[in-house]
Amino acid sequence: MGFSWQTLKFAGLLMFIVVCIALFQWTDLRRYAKPEEVRAAIQSVGYLAPLLYLLIYSIGPVLFVPGWIITIAGGKLTTYRNMAKDVVDVACKTLGTKKACVTEQKPLAGGLPMGYDDYLKEAVPEMSARHRVNAETVRHLIQFYGSRAERVLELVDMDPSMGEAISPESRDIYAQVVYSTMEEGARTLSDIILRRMHLGMTGTRGRKQAEKIAEVAGKELKWSAEERLQHLENYHKDLSKDNDCLKP
């Protein structure tokens, strides 16, 4: 019995993939997958670099090339819940488990019970009066934390000094520092300032307030004086690295 053209094409493609995987896994070709080698190869083709990048990125998974950061960022910033649903569905099918996915009915952490604008109109004045914090600060916290802004404001209730604005460049308050260590797993000064607060995106990036923030964070994380100084030093090193990236 003869084989159809479609079957032959599939077999040929499958054989090609197997050969490519074998060459990549068990020959010196693998060393060319190092980031610096790939970068040099892409840059060497000039204006065709974008096309070469797309080609490498497209066939990389077929050859079992480890995913690069753009793989994760692309999913995380767009459709990561759909990605998670697909992965769980495949896992359930493999395990023979039949359960309906509930991700569409589960709100994200900090999700709002109504539309954003409606929530602001209702929650800002109520939360401002109840926690004795100005309305603009409440609005700022909702923009950052959604419904979890309530938890940040509860820290202000416990210690009113935590409601103090950290910098004139931002509406961030010190309660956010405590919240990042208690609820978000932040363990370094750089993580707190540069990745979890608006202050890290301002012109000074928190340089003038770093010592006070380190003091507040250190109290929560039980840093010694030496550890606090080390975190400050690492924070300034991280700032220098960011600035170095901007140099021509």
Count of structural domains within the chain? 2
Q: What is the pLDDT of residue 124?
A: 97
- Burial of 182-219, coded b for 16+ CB within 10 Å and e otherwise, reads eeeebebbbbbbbebbbbbebeebbeebbeebbebbbe
Whether 72 maps to a domain, the answer reads: no
Question: Tokens at residue 197, please?
Answer: 């607060």
pLDDT band at 71 (very low <50, low <70, confident <90, very high): low
- pTM for the predicted model, two decimal places: 0.64
Residue 91 domain-assigned (yes or no): no
Whether residues 161 and 232 fall in one domain: yes
Average pLDDT (11-37) is: 67
Residues sharing a CB contact under 8 Å with residue 181, sequence separation 6 or more, in sequence order:
187, 192, 217, 220, 221
pLDDT above 70: percentage of residues in the chain: 74
Average pLDDT over residues 77-104: 75
Give me the pLDDT at residue 40, please: 73
Helix-helix angle 174-182:210-221, to 10 degrees? 40
* Domain that includes residue 44, residue range: 11-66
Pair (122, 234) in one structural domain: yes
Backbone angles phi, psi at 165, to 5 degrees: -65, 135
pLDDT of 69? 46
Q: What is the CATH number of the domain that holds 144?
A: 1.10.8.870
- Phi, psi of 172, rounded to the nearest 5 degrees: -60, 145
The lowest-confidence range among 25-34, 126-135, 217-226 is 25-34
pLDDT tier at 76, thresholds 50, 70, 90: low
171 and 62 within one domain: no
Residues 6+ apart with CB under 8 A from 99: 92
Band (pLDDT 50/70/90 cuts) for residue 90 is confident
Q: Assess if residue 205 is contained within a domain.
A: yes
> 162: burial class by Cβ within 10 Å (0-12, 13-18, 19+)?
buried
Residues 129 and 227 occupy one common structural domain: yes
- Pair of tokens at residue 120: 């602001």
